Copies of this chain bind each other. A is one copy, B any other.
C-alpha cells in the first residue's frame, strides 16, 4: 500500500493516516474500492471541505482517480459539493453524521444488490415440473427467497433505527469512554 505522505499545507496526522488506512481496508473487504473508502475517510476526519487538489496531495493519487472516486462518493450520497463564493474551485465534504452514513450505505446496497436478487428469485419461483428434483429446487428457492426478504427487513430495520433510544444511550456511554 502506498504510504500517506504528509503535506505541509494540509497535514494529515499519524492518527488520521491510521484511520484512513483502516477505513480503506474495511471498505475493500466490503466491496468498496480502497481509494474510494480512503477519500471518504479523509473527508470524514477533515474539519473543512477539501478541493480535488488537496485530496490528491493528501492521498498521493492522480487527478483522474480523485475525480472519479469523488463522483462515485457523491452518487452514493456520502460526499457533497460545497461552493465557496468568489471561487471557481469545487470543494468536497462528507456529512459528519455516522448514522446518516450508515443509512446511505444501507439504502444503496439494498437498491443495487438485494432488489435484483429478489427479482431473480421471484422469477424462479414459477419454474415448472413436479419431479422430486424440481420440487426440492423449488423448496430451496423458497427458503432463499425468505432469506433475502429477511435481509431486506433487517436493512429496513437498520435504516429506521436512527432514533432508537438504545443507540442514543450507547453513544453517550461510549462517548464518556
Contact A174 B146 (CB under 8 A): yes
B133 touches A44 (CB 8 A): no
A25 to chain B, nearest CB (A): 8
A167 — which chain B residues lie within 8 A by C-beta? 146, 150
Residue A19, interface by CB 8 Å: yes
Chain A contact residues, majority secondary structure: helix
A149 at the interface (CB under 8 A from B): yes
Q: Is there contact, CB below 8 Å, between A15 and B146?
A: no
Nearest CB of chain B from residue A124's CB, rounded to whole Å: 5
Decide: B31 and A29 in contact? CB cutoff 8 A.
yes
Q: Mark A96-120, 1 if CB is under 8 A from B, else 0.
A: 1111011000000000110011001
Additional 5 contacts, C-beta under 8 A, given A19-B121, A157-B157: A13-B127, A16-B137, A22-B121, A30-B31, A146-B174
Going nearest first, the 5 A-B pairs with the smallest beta carbon separation are: A98-B147, A98-B143, A22-B120, A31-B31, A15-B127
21 contacts between A and B (CB under 8 A): A13-B134, A13-B137, A15-B124, A25-B116, A26-B113, A29-B113, A30-B31, A44-B144, A45-B137, A96-B140, A96-B143, A98-B144, A98-B146, A98-B147, A101-B147, A125-B177, A142-B177, A146-B167, A146-B170, A149-B170, A157-B157
